[in-house]
Structure formats: C-alpha cells, structure tokens
Amino acid sequence: MKKHTSVFVAILLITIVINSVVVAQNPKTNAGKVNNKSPQGYQAPAIPTPPAQRPVQNDSANKSNAVPNNQPQNSQQTSFINPISKTNSDGNHLLLSAGFIIGIPQNQFSDVSNKNLGAGLGISVMYNFMGTDNKEKKTVNVFLGGTFEYLYFGGATNNFSYDDPAPFSNTFTNKVTSTININAYTFLLASRIEFLNGPIIPFVEVATGGRYFDGIQKGSVSHEQKPGTQLPSGTTFTPSSKSFNQGLESDIVGTYGYGGGLRMGTNNFRVELKLMYMKGTTARYIDKSTIKYDANNNLTYETKTSTTDMLLPQISFSTNF
C-alpha cells in the first residue's frame, strides 16, 4: 500500500510542475475570465445615437400619437453589451469515460490462479458536484458516479465426436464443439477528486461495490452422416445442428479500493490513464488449467477458493458534457 501511495504522490508533484510550465508559457489561458475592473484608460464604446425623426407633416393628424418630450421613448436601437462581462455558467457536470482494462491478480489470488491475467472493458459516468464551464473550472472538482467493468479470464475449447447408437453407429455421427469461458462482471460506486486545471489533470479515486465471477459452457452439436456411407433402405436423413449454453460455477464477492491517474488533452476530449488497487473478498471459481474431458467425453474441472485482490491498469477516453 505504501508503494502505491508513493507512486501517486510522485505523479501529483510531476503534474503540478508540468502544468505550471504550460501556464507560464501560455498567458492566453487566462483570457475569457471575468474581470470586473476596467483596465486603466479603457473607455466603453459610445451608445449609438438614434437617427433624427422626420418632421411631422400634419400636426393635427398625428397629435394623438405624439410622445411628450418628458417621457422616455421606446427605442428599438441595439444597446451596448460589454463583452468582458459575459460568462457561461451552464456548466459541464457529467464526465463519461470508456476504455480498456487489465486485471492482474494479487496476493492469494495471484498464487491460486497461476498469475492468469484478465482483460476487458470498462465504462463510468460521474457527476461533478463542483462543475462549472470548462473555461472556468475550479482548481478542485469532486465527482460521484458509477462504474461497470467486464473482465475475461480465459477458458478452454474442446472438439470431439461420438456415433449414434446401433444400428446407425456406422452411418451417423455427432460432432461437438465445447468452450468454457471464465468472466468477471463488476459494479462499483465511485468517487473522484480532480486537482488543478490544465492540459494534465491528476486525480485520486475510491470505489466500492460487487464482483460476479461466472463460468459458462457454450458449444454446438452437429448431427451428420459419415462420409462414404449409404443410408439403410427406407431411411431418410436431414443434417441438423443445435447449440447449448449452461452455467457451471458462479460466485459474488465484495470489492473496494483506491487509485489515481491522469487525464490529458483538451477540455472536451482527454486520454485517461488510471491505476486502481481493489481488495476482494473470497470467491469460488473454475481453475481453467483443470478443464478437460474424460474417456466418455464428459466435462470435468476443479474449482479454487481465494481472496480476489487485483491491480487494474486502465487506459480510457473521457469527455465532459
């Protein structure tokens, strides 16, 4: 844990230095911010003078429509708006990110799983409680939202065949393709704090939720006539195929952890690098190294039990809207 914390602190310090250099070299980054104090010598443009009204040709006909001199006229002239006082407070409160994840088993999970890696996808949606327009984003922003992750830990595929019972054993055969997939689905409640406002934004994140481990057997069976054989007299045959899908072993565990990373790019589109360390409670799952078929083509496998700690490096693409 101390090792991970040191890495995050080092990343934060490096990012502060980089952003400071970028801001110093680009003074225009402060352009567009509201400045209530007018610069010395600044004068607002004069309000355009309405065009002179034409003389009334018929006083008696237009007397009722005349406007007294002591009453303000409802002029349609465009009034002057000071451009430096205009701001946008609508805000970009939502942060959407999606990308690729690697699951690296840690501690007991690493030993029991033979260091078998998982790979998959993740997507998160977060709400910025301190969100403002990107151009006026505060130095610290706090997000709260949800995350979904899918990891595939591999499996095994086997192809075999068996003949029909007598008297058709020499005529018809069944070809089977069977695949075992081991998956993990994670649902998390996550909170993030982002620091600074520049081309590189460091952040820290905490998360808690549940993870569902699932072992599934998928496959297909094709009923075919053996090549070079003749059908018995009076017998008709139509080749057929069917698929099957069944659950083998599943378990639900709790998970929680912390991490951090960097978001790099423009305000509306950034590349996100993140590293999370997630503790996981004990789960029972299929040991893919033990998946096999016996002499009768029956599926056999063993299960293992361990805690489910993982280190999760991620690369994502994020946007504010």
Instruction: Tell me the per-residue pLDDT of 85-113, one tens digit each, with 9 for 90 and over.
Output: 333 334 568 899 999 999 999 998 888 77
Q: Look up the domain containing 221 and give its range.
A: 2-12+93-320
Indicate the pLDDT class of residue 210, thresholds 50, 70 and 90: very high
Tell me the C-alpha distance between 277 and 311, whole Å: 5
Domain count, the chain: 1
Q: Which of 75-84, 235-244, 281-290 has the lowest mean pLDDT?
A: 75-84
Residue 56 forms part of a structural domain: no
Residue 86 forms part of a structural domain: no
Please work out, in degrees rounded to the nearest 5, the angle formed at the alpha carbon of residue 288 by the alpha carbons of 312 and 307. 45
Residue 17 forms part of a structural domain: no
Residue 172 forms part of a structural domain: yes
Residue 45 forms part of a structural domain: no
Instruction: Tell me the per-residue pLDDT of 161-202, one tens digit each, with 9 for 90 and over.
Output: 888 887 788 888 888 888 888 899 999 999 999 988 788 999
Instruction: Tell me the per-residue pLDDT of 253-299, one tens digit each, with 9 for 90 and over.
Output: 999 999 999 999 986 789 999 999 999 999 888 877 777 776 666 77
Please report, for residues 49, 50, 75, 121, the alpha-carbon distance to residue 56 in angstroms, rounded to integers and kept in the order given.
20, 17, 18, 77
CATH number at residue 289: 2.40.160.20
Residue 76 forms part of a structural domain: no
Residue 34 forms part of a structural domain: no
Q: Which residue has the higher pLDDT, 47 or 149?
A: 149
Q: Is the pTM of this model over 0.75?
A: no
Residue 44 forms part of a structural domain: no
Tell me the C-alpha distance between 210 and 36, whole Å: 50
